[in-house]
Amino acid sequence: MTPSPPAASKAAAAALKSTLPPLLLGTATFNTQYVPDPHALPYRSIVARAISLGVRGFDTSPYYGPSEILLGDALNALFTSPTHPLPRSDVFIVTKAGRIAGDEFDYSPAWVRYSIYRSLQRLHTQYLDLVYMHDVEFVSAQEVLAAVKELRRLRDEEGVVKHVGISGFPVKVLAELAEMILKETGEPLDAVLSYGHFTVQNRLLAVDELLGRRESKEKEEESVLKRFKKAGVEVILNASMLGMGLLTQKGIPPNPESKESPLVKWHPSPPELRIACKKLGELAAAKGERLESVAIRWALEEWARVGAEAGVGVDAGPGSSLKVGPTVCGVSSIPELEETVAEWNGVLEGLEKLATVEKKERRAYGSERQEKVLKLVEDEMWPALGGWIDFAWASPGEGYVNTRRPEDKGQVPDDGVIAAHEERIKNRK
């Protein structure tokens, strides 16, 4: 039996910087968008192996098909183990609300409330450590504001949410909404999840910081990270280091009729970008590397460094004085998980070594591996991308219309979710 939810008001909740794990397992891959049959994945083994490797954070969403259900089943098996039950407090569970399907969104307070209650059931927990409103660029700013307020009400009055944030693709939209929420409510967001915008191909989350730019009279626009910081956002997480499958040795076929990969059906990248990224795989292979290994290592270490320097990082571990920018990594197999964790451990080892060296004596990075990756990315991959460097597709795409009719917003299924939640509350009292 999982413990009762702790007091989760903003005043009572522990700082996210000290409780959010620096590396989280993303389970968007537990979905037909990435694999033909998610139920056939060894998802229980993946989650158990993540725990054994020290990965304590898990990120999911109702939009990711059966992801919440599969993750919840895997966690519940660990929570209820007859020999060594995993304490709920040992894991950090993150989910989202608001996105129902590809072009269907409902940010109404009633739907948000229903979605949270359903997530609690699916994930076999009485509280959620962090909840994002999912893909906020697809709805109006006022809808985002109303949804964030409802999440905070669930935090303060019901204790079922501990921290509140937003997620999305266009980083400038995320910054605008973070600024608006602080202005309208007087309270900043706890977290923002940015995906696909801090990769070998797309650096827009922190391109100014990476290239050493400074604001000037000639450059009037302030960096995105500085905007987030001014808006009071406590933590920024980077996700989709591989550009949702774009930065892999196999790549994504440019032909939209290809049946070689399930990503062809939905991935928004144009054919020319897919071809450009395929060339990056050739450059990696020429150095005895796989593109995904290079892309993962570069994003992990660079975001660990840049996120910390920008003041939006977290503790590298319990009680650690080292700060790092946190990352969500998606995997669909144990070898992929082990590779990512090995790269992450290398990142931490290098950063810890740097922390003990006098600043004036420091090398650019803390390990030969990272220096090799950095040289390959900066000297060969970025020039090879040409005009496709920092390209980001439009989100929403042209012609987007929310298929959720206005009159249907706030209409929740009569499936027993709310009644079951009310019963749990009654029994708890």
Q: Which residues carry out catalysis?
A: 64
Whether 356 contacts 166, CB under 8 Å: no
Q: What are the distances in angstroms from CA 264 to CA 34, 123, 271, 274?
A: 10, 30, 10, 10
User: Under 8 Å CB-to-CB from 371, ≥6 apart: which residues?
Assistant: 363, 364, 365
Length of the chain: 429
Give, in order, the Cα–Cα distances in Å from 270 to each of 198, 207, 302.
Answer: 19, 22, 26
Q: At what angle do helices 67-79 and 109-122 cross, to 10 degrees?
A: 40
- For β-strands 99-101 and 104-105, DSSP reports them as antiparallel
| DSSP code per residue over 75-138 | HHHHHT-SSSPPPGGG-EEEEEESEEETTEE---HHHHHHHHHHHHHHTT-S-BSEEEES-GGG
Helix axes 368-376 and 291-309, enclosed angle (nearest 10): 100
- Yes or no: say if 166 and 192 are a contact pair by the CB < 8 Å rule: yes
Q: Is residue 62 within 8 Å of residue 114, measured between CB atoms?
A: no
Q: Which residue(s) pair with 168 in the sheet?
A: 194
Amino acid at 158: E
The answer to whether 40 and 68 have CB atoms below 8 angstroms apart is no
